Amino acid sequence: MYDALYIGATGMQAQQLNVETIASNLANVNTAGYKRSRVSFSDLVALDPARRTAALAGPDAGLLAPVMRMGAGVGVAGISKLFDAGDIKKTDLPMDIIVQGEGFFEVQTPDGTPAYTRGGTWTVNRDGNLATSAGLALKPAIAVPDDVQALVVQPDGRVQARVAGQQSLADLGKIDLVRFANPQGLAAQGDNLYRSSAASGEALLVRPGEEGAGHIAQGYLEASNVKMVDEMVNLMLAQRTYEANTKIVQAADDMMGMVNGLRR
């Protein structure tokens, strides 16, 4: 009966995280470029002794350490991002630039480390370089002249501009894309930014339209890939599963109460 309490607790803890993840997806249903998250579960019975020992040594074991030691119940294998494409919306705004297909833009963070984004609404930062709306410069840097009258980004990544007093387009540079062996392993940083991790693999530099990479689209925004109906169904399933686990705990508690009430 003690085991049943711990098993029910693992289920409640896992479903609480599941509900929180679904809530985050629903909150960002209208966030351009947002990629939905999914919780993966694992059977603690299937954990080998070495993995159980590592889990018990972790900071999250806490009150659930006994059931993890026993190897029963459910655990959270991880939370991954799903990079299936969202709907493409035409805006005709020259600073709305996205990747249509696979691939990421690389940007420079304030601490000097690279981060990756699927694009969105861009701007020109205080240094005069093409940057995200948060001011993170694109890599390689694309300097935009002050007197630019029109900015053109070709599907192959070439960036051109028409400046005052000139009829022809001037080349400003070329945008490269980055691909990963396992994009689901990228670590989300917020503001539609991601960092590479051991799970995602190293960043592979590619040309737009080559080696499986998508093309660059100007004047478009990628909508969130969250599907409201799917998330609402998942939310109901998570709530019902949570309730089922509370019933397990309640039943085990009732049985313990009956045992404690027995007289010799």
Does residue 229 have a pLDDT over 90?
A: yes
* Interatomic CA distance for residues 62 and 64, integer angstroms: 5
- Do residues 143 and 126 lie in contact, with contact meaning Cβ atoms separated by under 8 Å? no
Q: Where would I find the H helices in the chain?
A: 2-27, 49-57, 65-70, 228-260
Amino acid at 187: A
Q: Render the burial of 187-196: b for 16+ CB within 10 Å, e for the rest.
A: eeeeebbbeb
pTM above 0.85, yes or no: no
Q: Percentage of the chain with pLDDT > 70?
A: 88
- Do residues 131 and 105 lie in contact, with contact meaning Cβ atoms separated by under 8 Å? no
Give backbone dihedrals phi and psi of 212, rounded to 5 degrees, phi first: 85, 0
| pLDDT band, residue 44 (cuts 50/70/90) | confident
Instruction: Kindly state the average pLDDT of the residues 221-231.
Output: 94
- Do residues 212 and 196 lie in contact, with contact meaning Cβ atoms separated by under 8 Å? no
| pLDDT band, residue 58 (cuts 50/70/90) | low
259 or 215, which is more confident: 215
Does residue 63 have a pLDDT over 70?
A: no
Q: Quick one: pLDDT at residue 42?
A: 86
Q: Quick one: pLDDT at residue 51?
A: 56
- Do residues 99 and 157 lie in contact, with contact meaning Cβ atoms separated by under 8 Å? no
Largest CA distance in the chain: 102
Does residue 48 have a pLDDT over 80?
A: no
Q: Quick one: pLDDT at residue 73?
A: 84
Beta bridge pairs of residue 98? 119, 217
Tally of CB atoms within 10 A around 223 = 16
Q: Quick one: pLDDT at residue 94?
A: 92
The domain ranges of the chain are 2-84+226-260, 88-222
| pLDDT band, residue 52 (cuts 50/70/90) | low
Residues 6+ apart with CB under 8 A from 254: none
What's the token pair of residue 234? 């998942």
Q: Quick one: pLDDT at residue 149?
A: 86
What's the token pair of residue 49? 């002794």
119 or 12, which is more confident: 12
